[in-house]
Amino acid sequence: MLTVMIVGLAKGSTVMISRHIGEKKNDKVAKSVGNTIVIFMSISIVITAILLCLTKPIVSVMAMPEEAVNGTINYLIVCFIGIPFITAYNIISSIFRGLGDTKSPMYFIAVACVCNIALDFLFSKTMKINEGEVPQYYVENSHPAIIDPEEWKKVQEEYQRRKEAVKRTACHSPFAGKVICGDCGEWFGPKVWHSNSQYRRLIWQCNHKFKGGEKCATPHLTEDALKEYTRQALSFLIENREALIEDGRLIKQALSDHTEIDAELRAIVEEMEVVAGLIEKSIATNAITALGQDEYAKSYESLTERYQGLQKHYTALTKQRADKEYKADVLSCFLFELGELELLDTEWSDSRFHAIVERITVYNDGRLVFTFRNGSEETVMM
């Protein structure tokens, strides 16, 4: 706005100067030039000073969000300091135009434009995505959800499971994280024997040493042996398959039934709403009546405690529900693989082994106890 006003007023001097040039009155030309410079520069300096003093009041009447206030103040200060320079440019070009030289102001502005572009590139920070350096805003319910929360939760659980599965198969063996030492309860680890010869073998053993450097007495097992014992254990499963599948289905049904937990969750939510209402009411009452402050503090505290208790219970129940869902998933994978299990000498499959066997515990008396995903156990002798 100021620039436009200056441009308009400076037109007046252009007219005056060109008239005196036409009349060939050089002293009047000089006087007009001098007057223009003095008047415009003093006005612009006064305006700049006033505006710089008023920066903060100006920002405050603009109803600015708090985070933007400092930035706005800095921006305005830079703008205001620029006023004398804008004025100087405009009066110089109006004088030149009055003198009949319209080309110089054009070159002047052309050079300024190029400088502006070059300096922008030099000094502007490169654009980057806001990663929390400045406040980020999250707008709730602004658009319909792309996936529903239930589905999102399932995907998260699946991610978690895969992450754990990757950890488990880090050494590319199905037995990693599956075999436990019956002496100390530690996992069996893989070890390569004769790594440089043709007798190279991968064996599994407990590497745990007790005080005094004594190692566990549990035997080591080759990968092939573990697969063979697994086949034997699975043959027991096949024998009892019908009963196991039927039992498993019943358990799965119970695990997939969330009516009780859901009812309890709903009741808790309702109670939380009631308690929240009571808290609000007690705050409102306290504001308008002269109730004893001790009494108020006591009732407020007991209400918030009750609310927090409900919140804790709610979280615990949600976790319980998720655990049940997970167990039902594991069991249904187990039942599926059990149903598919046909012959003892079917090809080894890592994924089937994962779905059916929870862990193998090795004891020093040569017992291998297989714990299956449905919770049942089978013992195989070495």
Does 154 contact Zn ion by CB under 5 A?
no
Binders in 164-183 for Zn ion, by CB under 5 A: 181, 183
Rounded to a whole number of angstroms, the minimum distance from the CB of residue 232 to Zn ion is 23
CA distances to 42, 63, 77, 218, 240 from 66, in Å: 35, 9, 18, 68, 71
In the complex with Zn ion, which residue's Cβ is closer, 182 or 248? 182
Rounded to a whole number of angstroms, the minimum distance from the CB of residue 180 to Zn ion is 9
Give which of 357, 368, 364 is closest to 176, Cα–Cα.
357
In the complex with Zn ion, which residue's Cβ is closer, 183 or 329? 183
Q: Residue 361, SS3?
A: strand
DSSP bridge pairs for 190: 204
Rounded to a whole number of angstroms, the minimum distance from the CB of residue 226 to Zn ion is 16
In the complex with Zn ion, which residue's Cβ is closer, 64 or 184? 184
- Helix 69-81 to helix 26-61 angle (10° resolution) is 170
Rounded to a whole number of angstroms, the minimum distance from the CB of residue 217 to Zn ion is 8
Strand order in the sheet with 377-381: 179-181, 357-362, 367-372, 377-381
Q: Which residue in 19, 28, 208, 231 binds Zn ion (CB under 5 A)? A: 208
Q: Which residue in 59, 83, 206, 380 binds Zn ion (CB under 5 A)? A: 206
The CA distance from 248 to 242, in Å, is 10
Q: Residue 74, SS3?
A: helix
In the complex with Zn ion, which residue's Cβ is closer, 206 or 335? 206
Contact predicate 59/76, CB 8 Å:
yes
From 30-38, 52-60, 211-219, 230-238, give the range in contact with Zn ion by CB under 5 A: 211-219
From 161-169, 210-218, 228-236, 363-371, give the range in contact with Zn ion by CB under 5 A: 210-218
Matching residue, tokens 């409900």: 310
Rounded to a whole number of angstroms, the minimum distance from the CB of residue 303 to Zn ion is 53
Residues that bind Zn ion (CB under 5 A): 181, 183-184, 206, 208, 216
